[in-house]
Homo-oligomer: A and B are copies of this chain.
C-alpha cells in the first residue's frame, strides 16, 4: 500500500485513556498496575497501540472495552504527547483520550476483574511516564467542556437527583455552589425531566429523580441553542441552621 511517502520514518502510536467516574460524591479515575515492561507493576493509565486498520477513535474504544468490558462510552480525543523520550521502552507518540463512565450502571467489580482500580482524583498515586500530565490536561478539558456541553450526565446514572448533579459539578470545578442558584439554572434549561420516583439512600426525606432529555437537547442544538452552565465563582454556603438562639 505504501507506494508514496517512502523514506519517511514510521512510529509506534500508543493510546492512553483517562477514564473518569463519579462515585460516593467524588470524581475518580480508573488506573491499573502495568502488566509488562518497562515500568511493570507501576500505576498507569489504560493504554494500547493503534492497529493497522482502525482509526484512533476505534482503537480507543477497543482498548477501553478490552481492558474493562465496557462499551458505548463517551470518549473524546484530548492531545498527543510526543516528547522523544517520553517512554523509555521505545520512541512512541501517545494520543490521550478521556472517557466518562457511569460507574453505577456497570459492575463495580468489573474494574477489579481486570486489575484496575477506581482512585479518587485527589489521591492519585504517581503515574508512569507523562501520564500525570495527561490527567492534568484531561481535567482542564473536562472542566472547560462541562461548562459548554451537558456531558456531566455521562458520569451519572440515567436517573439521578439534583443534589447528586450538584455534587458532581462541585467535584469537577472544585468549588461549592449555591443550591438554589444551581437548581434554578439547571432547571431553566428545560432539559431535565422530573420523575415520580425518589431516591432515599442519602436522606430520610428522599430526593426526586430526574432524567436528562437527550432528544430535546439535540433538537435545541440544531436550533442553535447553547448549553451554558456558569459554574464559576462558587462560595461556601453559610447560615444553615448552624446557630440556635
Contacts and interface: CB of A to CB of B under 8 A. Distances in A.
Contacts of A51: 9
A37 B2 CA distance: 12
A108 to B, nearest CB: 32
Contact of A8 (B5, B37, B49, B82): B49
Nearest to A37: B4
Interface residues of A, number: 35
Contacts of A238: none
Interface stretch (A61-69, A84-92, A186-194, A205-213): A84-92
A13 B95 CA distance: 12
A178 to B, nearest CB: 20
Given A79-B77, A80-B77, A80-B95, A52 B5 contact: no
A82 B55 CA distance: 5
A38 interface: yes
Contact of A54 (B13, B49, B84, B89): B84
Interface string A24-67: 00000000000011100000000001111111110000000000
A10 interface: yes
Contact of A56 (B2, B3, B5, B93): B93
Contact of A91 (B52, B84, B91): B52
Nearest to A55: B82
A33 to B, nearest CB: 17
A21 to B, nearest CB: 25
A243 interface: no
Q: Give the top 4 A-B pairs by smallest Cβ distance, nearest first.
A: A4-B89, A10-B10, A56-B82, A8-B49
8 contacts: A4-B37, A5-B90, A8-B49, A10-B12, A13-B13, A53-B91, A56-B82, A77-B80
